[in-house]
């Protein structure tokens, strides 16, 4: 009886151990720890720090997989290459769910992942590098094609199809002709091995990847990453630059209480703050921008005429924009738009006629139109020859002076005269009163 009891106990223990061993893989699958990252919209540098943070947190938590949800029309080449490198260098496998589209730069990011599931009706490809509205030069195309084929090769995908996405000279029978970039539908991508699964939703993608949604941790963008994304959006940054420069022009030309100056400085500050959030090395550009503004202020209010300070100031601001812009083409477009807005505001200022004292100093107030009743120089104006008085404003070279007890519009022969300087009338030409400074008479 004792031996029978022992045999039964042994069999019971053996059955329990067998059950535990058989259920262990299922339990492990149910306890997969997955970190999810989302790359949506324009691919830019702010996503690099975000994805890098996701992989660091996933590694620290001992995650099994990083799930990348992708939906983009593309973006910047340098950002896409950096994202690819993060994925390939990570010890944690990265699975990609293309939620609708992975176009241009998105194709490289998708092909860098270990597994790819595409939403039905989606697309990937059309990855030709562009410089503005034109195709990039041959060096860039060659580099970008190598990036795509390298990513495809690392996961056993068709390198010829990957190359055809960026080089329109490659012909793929039944898919793309010469002069056409390859763009694959979801079904075509799965059929030709450029994607692994065709799904209808995020949940289905998790199922085909054998990922338990219960243990899915979605990593959201933090405040700094969201602010960086917004401020460095190509449209937003262009508007901020144009608004900043335009508002400063408004402050100079139109009457106001400083509101345009506040808006202008705020817009330019946000523009360069976005650059600093993206890269801490952008402080060089910020220093250039500040120096440029200081030089322009000196040129307008201190140094007469338009000379070295003005040229250096404009050059510094242009250099700052070029330093922080994602590309030279983008910098040229932003600067061009800002200049266009400024020219438009100058034109409006002439039409509206509501100008500041600074603007008034550049023109004479006396009108000689017949509509205003002026058909000849003012009576007695010739009597001012030899009269001495004091400059009421800076003469650049025109302005106002106190002559014979009256405020009179005057101008110099081209020299700059400070306010408070004693002046003398040397001649009258038509309605223009020409003065020269009396040396050693500047008001302290």
Read off the pLDDT of residues 327-368 as tens digits, 9 standing for 90 and up: 777 778 888 888 887 778 767 766 665 554 444 544 445 544
143-149 own/partner pairs: CB under 8 Å, 24+ apart: 144/77, 144/108, 147/80, 147/81, 147/84, 147/108, 148/107, 148/108, 148/111
Asked, as a colleague might, if the bond just before 397 is cis with ω within 30 of 0, I would say yes
Q: What percent of the chain has pLDDT over 70?
A: 77
Q: Would you call 302 helix, strand, or coil by DSSP? A: coil
Q: Where in the chain is the domain with CATH 2.40.50.140?
A: 370-437
What residues have CB less than 8 Å from 199, skipping those under 6 apart?
A: 97, 117, 118, 119, 120, 205, 208
Q: Where in the chain is the domain with CATH 3.90.226.10?
A: 18-221
Buried (b) or exposed (e) across 24-50, using 16+ Cβ within 10 A? eeeeeeeebebbbbbbeebbbbbbbbb
**Is the four-CA dihedral 171, 177, 178, 179 of positive or negative sign?**
negative
Structure tokens at 312: 């250096």
For residue 315, give the nearest of 346, 288, 286 by alpha carbon: 288
Residue 252 confidence (pLDDT) above 90:
no
Of the candidate ranges 32-36, 82-86, 255-259, 282-286, the one whose mean pLDDT is the lowest: 255-259
Specify the CATH architecture of the domain 370-437: Beta Barrel (2.40)
Q: Phi, psi at residue 215, to the nearest 5°?
A: -105, 25
Please state, in angstroms and as integers, the Cα–Cα distance from residue 326 to each residue in 72, 138, 294, 323, 350, following that order. Answer: 18, 20, 25, 8, 36
- CATH number of the domain at 18-221, out of 3.30.360.10, 1.10.1200.10, 3.90.226.10, 3.30.565.10? 3.90.226.10
pTM above 0.85, yes or no: no
For 120-173, what is each residue's pLDDT tens digit?
999 999 988 877 677 888 888 899 999 999 999 999 999 999 999 999 899 998
**Is the four-CA dihedral 161, 165, 170, 175 of positive or negative sign?**
positive
Q: What is the pLDDT of residue 251?
A: 65
Which residues share a beta bridge with 94?
Answer: 66
Please state, in angstroms and as integers, the Cα–Cα distance from residue 55 to each residue in 61, 107, 116, 198, following that order. Answer: 10, 20, 18, 26
Residue 374 confidence (pLDDT) above 50:
no
What residues have CB less than 8 Å from 428, skipping those under 6 apart?
A: 377, 381, 382, 384, 385, 434
């Amino acid at each position: 009886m004792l031996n029978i009891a022992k045999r039964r106990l042994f069999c019971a223990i053996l059955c329990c151990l067998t059950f535990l061993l058989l259920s262990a893989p299922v339990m492990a699958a149910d306890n997969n720890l997955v970190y999810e990252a989302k790359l949506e919209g324009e691919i830019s540098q702010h996503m690099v720090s975000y994805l890098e943070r996701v992989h660091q947190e996933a590694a620290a938590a001992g995650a099994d997989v990083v799930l990348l949800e992708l939906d983009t029309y593309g973006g910047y080449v340098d950002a896409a290459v950096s994202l690819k490198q993060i994925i390939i260098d990570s010890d944690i496998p990265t699975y990609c769910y293309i939620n609708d589209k992975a176009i241009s730069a998105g194709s490289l990011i998708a092909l860098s992942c270990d597994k790819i599931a595409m939403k039905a009706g989606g697309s990937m490809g059309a990855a030709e590098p562009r410089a503005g509205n034109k195709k990039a030069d041959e060096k860039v195309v060659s580099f970008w094609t190598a990036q795509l084929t390298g990513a495809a090769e690392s996961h056993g995908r068709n390198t010829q199809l990957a190359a055809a996405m960026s080089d329109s000279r490659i012909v793929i029978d039944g898919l793309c002709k010469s002069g056409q970039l390859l763009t694959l539908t979801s079904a075509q991508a799965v059929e030709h091995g450029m994607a692994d699964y065709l799904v209808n939703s995020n949940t289905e993608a998790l199922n085909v990847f054998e990922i338990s949604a219960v243990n899915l941790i979605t990593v959201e963008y933090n405040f700094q990453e969201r602010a960086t994304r917004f401020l460095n959006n190509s449209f937003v940054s262009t508007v901020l630059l144009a608004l900043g420069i335009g508002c400063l022009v408004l402050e100079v030309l139109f009457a106001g209480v400083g509101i345009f100056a506040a808006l202008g400085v705020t817009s330019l500050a946000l523009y360069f703050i976005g650059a600093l959030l993206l890269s801490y090395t952008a402080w060089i550009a910020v220093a250039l921008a500040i120096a440029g503004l200081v030089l322009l202020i000196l040129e307008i209010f201190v140094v007469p005429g338009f000379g070295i300070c003005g040229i250096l100031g404009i050059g510094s601001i242009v250099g700052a924009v070029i330093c922080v812009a994602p590309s030279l083409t983008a910098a040229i477009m932003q600067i061009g738009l800002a200049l266009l807005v400024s020219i438009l505001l100058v034109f409006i200022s002439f039409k509206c006629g509501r100008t500041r004292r600074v603007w008034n100093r550049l023109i004479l107030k006396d009108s000689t139109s017949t509509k205003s009743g002026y058909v000849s120089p003012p009576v007695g104006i010739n009597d001012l020859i030899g009269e001495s008085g004091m400059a009421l404003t800076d003469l650049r070279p025109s302005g106002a002076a106190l002559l014979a007890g009256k405020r009179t519009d005057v101008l110099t022969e081209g020299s700059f005269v400070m306010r408070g300087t004693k002046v003398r009338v040397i001649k009258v030409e038509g309605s223009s009163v020409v003065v020269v400074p009396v040396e050693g008479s500047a008001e302290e």
